[in-house]
A = this chain, B = another copy of it.
Amino acid sequence: MKENLIWYKEILADHGIKNTRQKELILLELMQSSCHLTAEEIYQHLKTKRIGLATVYRCLKVFVNLEIVKEIPMVEVNYYELKIFSKKPLHIHFKCSNCNVMFDIDDIDINLDYIKLNEKVEKKREFEVKDANITLMGLIFCS
């Protein structure tokens, strides 16, 4: 898992941004998580490790600007997910209204449809699509 950090360090260096203990902690937290996390959740997981909430927000913003991380807005709070190291550049999010967890829908067929949809919008030539969010909300039959 840590070998992916080679790429990440290069991206930072290219932008004159220093790598720090805190940035690595946040990135590893996102890598290890099975679902998408809020800044507060990341902070709660890491606060015993000498890291402040403001740092979590600041580093996430840096990652978003570098396009390492994607910010997914919900009505009350923003979620974050790793963008690089993922083989799915475009995919659908599902947010369970019961357990409040957000994750990716991993289905090649569905994701292909999504990509086709994006292309169709782009081809209209009236728009230049820079980013997209598809979030489905509802219930997952979770424990």
Residues on A close to B: CB < 8 A?
71, 73-75, 78, 92, 94, 97, 105, 107, 109-110, 113-114, 116-118, 120-121, 124, 126-141
> Do B121 and A92 have beta carbons less than 8 Å apart?
yes
Chain B nearest CB from A140 CB (Å) reads: 5
**What is the oligomeric copy number?**
2
Partner of A128, one of B124, B133, B139: B139
> Do A133 and B133 have beta carbons less than 8 Å apart?
yes
Partner of A127, one of B117, B120, B133, B138: B138
Partner of A110, one of B97, B121, B137: B121
**18 pairs of residues in contact across A and B, judged by CB atoms under 8 Å:** A71-B75, A73-B75, A105-B121, A107-B121, A110-B117, A113-B120, A117-B117, A126-B140, A127-B136, A127-B139, A128-B138, A129-B137, A129-B138, A131-B136, A132-B135, A133-B133, A133-B134, A134-B134
Of chain B, the residue at the smallest CB distance from A97 is B130
> Do A139 and B135 have beta carbons less than 8 Å apart?
no
